[in-house]
A and B are shown apart, each in its own frame.
Chain A
Amino acid sequence: MSEKAKEKVKIVSQECIGKDIYSMWLQTDRIAKSARPGQFLSLYTRDGSKLLPRPISICEIDKEKDRIRLVYRVTGPNTGTEGFSKLHANVSIEVLGPLGNGFPLEEARGKKVFLIGGGIGIPPMLETAKQLDAEKKIILGYRDELFLKAEFESYGEVYTATEDGSAGTKGNVMDSIRKNGLEADVVFACGPAPMLRAVKAYALEKKIPCWISMEERMACGIGACLACVCKSKEVDSHSHVNNKRVCKDGPVFLSTEVEL
């Protein structure tokens, strides 16, 4: 278990890297030291009327400088994420983290692995790709405009899919995998529910283990309030019902453990 902390962190840089997509580096005190790929931070807004922390996945971890990079989407006008995007370097914000379990890198080490990211599920796959010592095929699915793609290229073979066909395979990540005849022993994926459903079905068909990072509306972010549950196949050992906490037991689950 990594040590969680609530910290006031300073923004090192803030950059728009695509339409509504922002990249922000944070100078942490000790969060970066214990963070793992696939974990997330809860960010508190600076607007008192927006109470709940915003869970944002960790895109990169710089342990030497004790920094965390978040790449996030601004979800609309007057939202918490829009507020974050307007903060400049040297401004401080409160964060809680690192939260959640992260991807089980040991399950994929030395194997042929698919790292699949869809939309705003792409960022957490970057640190995963960096830290994972394996034969990596990275499949990234976008609506139209690409972001972060070039940064993945140093860590494995990158394949893209776009809904409008403007880059890579026209269609989704599964279309890209099939069209390019890609194969793997293990899958790590993060993205929207329909993508995760397709990835889960693919892994079942190929009889390979698949870990997926899930998303759900959260409140506390630490497993106390039971807001962000997902359905589990078996009775969960903590909840004693067929529910798992996305923030605490996840966000990464073995695809066969959870219902999508």
Chain B
Amino acid sequence: MSKMSVTLAGVELKNPVMTASGTFGSGMEYSEFVDLNKLGAVVTKGVANVPWPGNPTPRVVETSSGMLNAIGLQNPGIDVFCERDMPFLQQFDTKIIVNVCGKSTEDYCQVVERLADEKADLLEINVSCPNVKEGGIAFGQDPKALEAITKEVKKYAKQPIIMKLSPNVTDITEMAKAAEAGGADVLSLINTLTGMKIDINRRTFALANKTGGMSGPAVKPIAVRMVYQAANAVSLPIIGMGGIATWEDAMEFIMAGATAVSVGTANFFNPCATDEVVKGIEGFLEKNQIGDIRELIGVVK
């Protein structure tokens, strides 16, 4: 293993940097700016068993050092995904993590089963999207429901399962433990925080969906705190995310206990952000003469 590589549930990543689901499509658009071969993994936008049209517009609005989105998990459905997006991603020397969404337990299991014979390395189960009425967060805010759906999904999964946790809970450790009890292989956090913005001139909500998921640098301290708490509550590896824009941000998450990190909203204001984070971490290891990044995971106690 090189000094930058990390392992998630037996899957070796060349470096700990990946994309956050929903901010990078399936990599096609960003491949014009970033060499996907340089990334530890590409995490796809959520895919469901059938195409989803998503929410009405406006779907995004800027907030101070952050943004709200309510895309509503628009996706072309698993069949198109497997025919078009999987072959695209397989051209690159990077790991493929498919984000799975659904409205019911059956929906999730159907997609997971369909992916069993695909060359996806890990599956991330999105039980924490705040922008869809059914499914999504309904599973991610109740520890019993989270444990149950994790168990069900595991029955159908050939690949290791990442449960993506919502920060919209009172106690993140309770959710992390529930996912672990259900048999999750990896946890990822945080998904977006539910927020709202009012357009005072139009006297209405800035987003058609009224509420949206908040992301961007403004949420980073919350995310670091939750990653730290989760890492100290369970023995599963954690993918940390929430406001990472620079390598320094990424190192905070790693030192808080994340084995890998995802760059999300930063892709929107710097399409080369993922690549820059990889290079920055490499430089940090070099400068501090650290031979293995794994020495730094959870080093802050």
The count of A-to-B residue pairs whose CB atoms sit within 8 angstroms is 105
Does B76 belong to the interface (CB within 8 Å)? Answer: yes
Q: Are A225 and B65 closer than 8 Å at their CB atoms?
A: no
Q: Within the complex, what minimum Cβ distance (angstroms) separates A234 from chain B?
A: 13
Chain A proximity mask over B40-58: 1 for CB below 8 Å, otherwise 0: 0000010000011110011
Query: What are the residues of chain B within 8 A of A53 when measuring CB–CB?
Result: 268-269
CA distance A227 to B269 in the complex (A): 14
A248/B29 contact (C-beta < 8 A), A222-B271, A227-B60 known: yes
Partner of B59, one of A49, A52, A229, A242: A229
Partner of B67, one of A219, A224, A226, A242: A219
CA distance A248 to B30 in the complex (A): 12
Q: Are B53 and A224 closer than 8 Å at their CB atoms?
A: no
Chain B proximity mask over A204-222: 1 for CB below 8 Å, otherwise 0: 0000000000001111111
Query: What are the residues of chain B within 8 A of A50 when measuring CB–CB?
Result: 62
Q: Within the complex, what minimum Cβ distance (angstroms) separates A164 from chain B?
A: 21
Query: What are the residues of chain B within 8 A of A179 when measuring CB–CB?
Result: none
Q: Are B61 and A225 closer than 8 Å at their CB atoms?
A: no
A241/B59 contact (C-beta < 8 A), A51-B269, A219-B268, A227-B71 known: no
Kindly name the residue among B74, B80, B216, B267 whose own CB sees the greatest number of chain A CB atoms within 10 A: B74
Query: What are the residues of chain B within 8 A of A242 when measuring CB–CB?
Result: 53
Query: What are the residues of chain B within 8 A of A243 when measuring CB–CB?
Result: 53-54, 74
Chain A residue with the shortest CB-CB distance to B265: A51
Does A129 belong to the interface (CB within 8 Å)? Answer: no
Would you call the interface of chain B mostly helix, strand, loop, or mixed? Answer: loop
Beta-carbon contacts under 8 Å, A186-220 to B: 216-220
CA distance A96 to B269 in the complex (A): 10
Q: Are A227 and B23 closer than 8 Å at their CB atoms?
A: no
Does A44 belong to the interface (CB within 8 Å)? Answer: yes
Query: What are the residues of chain B within 8 A of A6 when measuring CB–CB?
Result: 33, 271-272
Q: Are A217 and B61 closer than 8 Å at their CB atoms?
A: yes
Q: Within the complex, what minimum Cβ distance (angstroms) separates A4 from chain B?
A: 6
A224/B32 contact (C-beta < 8 A), A49-B65, A241-B53 known: no
Beta-carbon contacts under 8 Å, A217-250 to B: 217-230, 238-243, 248
Q: Are B80 and A240 closer than 8 Å at their CB atoms?
A: yes
Q: Are B52 and A44 closer than 8 Å at their CB atoms?
A: no
Q: Are A219 and B80 closer than 8 Å at their CB atoms?
A: no
Query: What are the residues of chain A within 8 A of B30 when measuring CB–CB?
Result: 222, 224
Q: Within the complex, what minimum Cβ distance (angstroms) separates B284 from chain A?
A: 21
A239/B67 contact (C-beta < 8 A), A219-B268, A222-B30 known: no
Q: Within the complex, what minimum Cβ distance (angstroms) separates B49 from chain A?
A: 13
Q: Are B74 and A239 closer than 8 Å at their CB atoms?
A: yes
A228/B57 contact (C-beta < 8 A), A6-B33, A219-B69 known: yes
Q: Are A226 and B57 closer than 8 Å at their CB atoms?
A: no
CA distance A102 to B231 in the complex (A): 49
Query: What are the residues of chain A within 8 A of B267 when measuring CB–CB?
Result: 220, 224
Query: What are the residues of chain B within 8 A of A96 when measuring CB–CB?
Result: 271
17 A-B pairs (CB sep. < 8 Å): A4-B32, A218-B60, A219-B67, A220-B268, A224-B29, A224-B267, A225-B268, A226-B59, A227-B57, A229-B54, A229-B57, A230-B57, A239-B76, A241-B54, A241-B74, A243-B54, A248-B29
A6-B272, A51-B62, A227-B59 known, 12 other contacts, Cβ within 8 Å: A48-B65, A50-B62, A51-B66, A217-B58, A219-B60, A220-B268, A222-B30, A229-B57, A229-B59, A230-B57, A240-B76, A241-B53
**A-B pairs with lowest CB-CB distance, top 9:** A240-B76, A224-B25, A224-B29, A227-B60, A241-B53, A217-B58, A240-B51, A222-B29, A227-B59
